[in-house]
Amino acid sequence: LLLGLGSYLITLFSLLVITTRGLDDLISLFRRLPSRKVNPFDDVIVPLLLQRLYVVIMNHD
């Protein structure tokens, strides 16, 4: 019963992704990401700082 339910859910999920996003996105979900060293400063802090700077500039009178 669980095997059948799991197969049904996987099929339903796959069809949903294919119809909404396309086959390429479904394949990219299961593709291994290229390994790289994660730098939290570049990935998190810099975009936050740029966002804050943009808000300050846009709200400046």
- pLDDT at residue 42, as a whole number: 65
Q: Where along the chain do its domains lie?
A: 2-58
- pLDDT at residue 33, as a whole number: 63
Which helix (H) or strand (E) is 23 found in, with range? helix 23-30
Q: What tens-digit pLDDT sequence spans the chain (61 residues)?
A: 888 888 998 888 888 877 877 777 777 777 766 666 666 666 677 788 888 888 888 886 5
- pLDDT at residue 15, as a whole number: 81
- CA distances to 6, 31, 34, 37 from 26, rounded to whole Å, are 18, 9, 17, 25
Nearest to 25 by CA among 17, 15, 35, 33: 17
- pLDDT at residue 22, as a whole number: 76
